[in-house]
Amino acid sequence: MRRSHGGRPQFLAHCEAVTTRALILAGGGLAGIAWETGILRGIADEAPDTARTLLDSDVLVGTSAGSTVAAQISSTMPLDELYERQIAPSSSELDPGVDIDSIAELFLSAMAEPGALQAKLRRIGAVAAATPTVAEPVRRRVIEARLPSHDWPQRDLRITAIDIATGELAVFDRASGVSLVDAVAASCAVPGAWPPVTIGGRRYMDGGVSSSVHTAVAADCDTAVVLVPAGEFAPAAFGAGTASEIADFSARTFAVYADEAALAAFGPNPLDPVCRVPSATAGREQGRRVAAAVTEFLGPASGR
């Protein structure tokens, strides 16, 4: 069974015993961080046990904005406090001073050139490395301020990034020998907005460049809830798109896509800090609306 909210419910006659659960948190800028936090908070309003089940998922997969949320919810900071941080009028976030159309143009230019996916990702990486941005240490301090803990949690947290020199996907976890702050900074290094992150002599950019969700990173899981701060049929730079990737995922999957109210709340630029409060508020409202459906999907697991 696969279902999506924010789009049409989808049912497949495919139900299996759940042994390993994943919570997959997609990319989407500051709007995505706020919305995903709001979704979880809204579910907690209506179905506290279900929210607890999501927070206690066996595997957390975070890409870009989702890496921030995954790291935050795996800390000891309560969900309600994480939500309050999103609706606070001020934050340590910086405005990159670029609009989303400029970043989209970077992707389109890479796609227009011939070559395989990794070659296109390398081209994007080269532009990311050459684009003037704030210095790496300045950006790192922003990520440090986002994270309640700078230590990897004692659980299965997987964070995605792209090696700009090879175009290959990197998946960081607590066994990688990489600091949590650097892993999240790498995953959130939007090309053209923020500098690639140097780790062990290599440089990495936003994991969401090649996929917003990277469901394959959770291939060992039997069931997954996916939070996607975008419309169900939003276009993707590469591949058939997020909805198609989720539909093709082997696990039982429930996807929550941003609904129309949330998309309106995101505004024209999801990287602009002013989007945080409306995005979090819209996420909480949508979370309340989808709580019953998420509870039904998780079944008995949501009560344990």
Give CA–CA dist 239/211, Å, rounded.
Answer: 8
Residue 22, token pair as written in the block: 């994943």
Give CA–CA dist 159/208, Å, rounded.
Answer: 11
What are the Cα distances from residue 48, in Å, to 54, 107, 115, 286, 302? 10, 40, 48, 15, 9
Contact 204, 189 (CB under 8 A): yes
User: Which positions are annotated as active-site residues?
Assistant: 64, 206
- The one-letter code for the residue type at 120 is K
Burial 57-79 (b: 16+ CB within 10 A, else e): bbbbbbbbbbbbbbbbbbeeeeb
What are the Cα distances from residue 140, in Å, to 180, 274, 299? 11, 20, 40
Where are the alpha helices (H) located in the chain, listed in sequence order?
A: 29-46, 48-55, 65-73, 79-87, 100-112, 117-130, 136-146, 180-187, 242-248, 260-266, 276-298
Give CA–CA dist 207/148, Å, rounded.
Answer: 22
Question: CA 296 from chain center: how many Å?
Answer: 23
